[in-house]
Structure 1
Amino acid sequence: MALIDADDLDRNELAYRVFGVTRDKTPWRAADIIAGGPADPSWERAELAWRMSSRGYYAEQAGLVAAATLAAQTEDAPLRFSLALATADEARHADAFYQYAKLAGGGEPEPEAPELMEPLDTALARLPYMGRALVHTMLEGFAADEFILLREVFAGDPLGLLYHHVRRDEIQHVAIGLNYLARESTTGEGRELWREYGSQWHEIGMRLTYLDKISVSLAELTGREPDRLRHWFLRRHRARLSAGGVDMDGGR
């Protein structure tokens, strides 16, 4: 791993500003949020809350590993520093869902949940750096949108508030990734890689979102139409890429 010269950190004003937002934000504590404990076990969504928080524990771990790996493997100074902070965020998220799942389940998180993360780890490991950065950023963005709905599903329970706080962090992680991709895709080498493989990487990311399955599941929980939810996710995703200056050149 190469260490980076000090003047590289703030060479790009916007990239340094994105890092500063994550660096200076006000922290939150899971223990304060769930101090009163989860809803009564007789609550109709108590088991669902346990399962969702269990999956959140493992999903945030996957995000932690992805962010840490990307941080270690880049020589882009503001990206490395930003991802280091994002890695700490993901650890806080995983622990928050872990604390909740233990309370809600009376012991440990759902044991089957880790198996859901294995395809993601395998797929990310096969991608080159820019591809992994794109897919990781996409998954963070879709998760942030999903948390809007899960916050609604678990309104009145501490889990809903956890989703609120986690989502605020995830939005910042998306900004980190989009800023890097927008900068890197305009360099000589990055431009060629993006032109040749960007749409392909985007398709891989879309498959890993399991958007159809998630849309159906969330439709059942929220009383919405699956197709409408799917289009809602896609509309927000495209808006993020456009606002971040990332041109998918014909991506979905």
Structure 2
Amino acid sequence: MAPDTVLFDLDSTLCRSTQDDQRIHAQAFARAGVEPFCTPEDVRTVASTITDADTDHEFFRQVFERAAARAGAGSIDAEALARATIALRDPTAVEWRPGAQAALDRARKHANVGLVTNGTRTTQRAKLDTLGIADAFETIVYAADRTEPKPSPAPFETALAEIGASADSALYVGNDYRADVIGAKRAGLTACWIPSERDLDAPADPDHMPDYRFDSPDELTTVL
């Protein structure tokens, strides 16, 4: 049975950055005056474990603190690294992930649609404006501003309540196994996992397995 509600993640699901991660990473360390102790891949791995940051600065501060701890780097200036990273990152430098526009268009024709993202309103709204989809959703939950972030069930439950939909007839679409699949399953939704080329393989967790796994967002049209 096709879902009557489809909730989407934003980053790396509907859109992807056009900036060079390696370049931003190197420039952030240079600007902060900190000797590099981790790679962009290390940052992405640690970023998925941050669950209590309510601003972009707090998010990146925690990311660099945890990355330094994992690397045994000792005391580092995480505040300076967070400031430098935010200054260098351009939230308007995004493009559609291939197949994502078709998936969103299809969902809008056949279901209620919403967006559930862990980012802040300011940062994520800039991306939506660039893509021209700020008004494409019945509801948008910016978890960093309103609820506990994914994988908490709170942002999913908030979105469903605002649409007036039930979890058992809703589908969540995301690229991040921990935040998106585990979060959606905790909230009782059907989960569609569409990992990007940068996403790690999902750990074996029989309690939180995706109901669908696709290589590209446009494959979502097979279930709508």
User: TM-score normalised to the size of structure 1?
Assistant: 0.27
Relative contact order (C-alpha < 8 Å, sep 6+): which is higher? 2
Structure with greater proportional strand content: 2
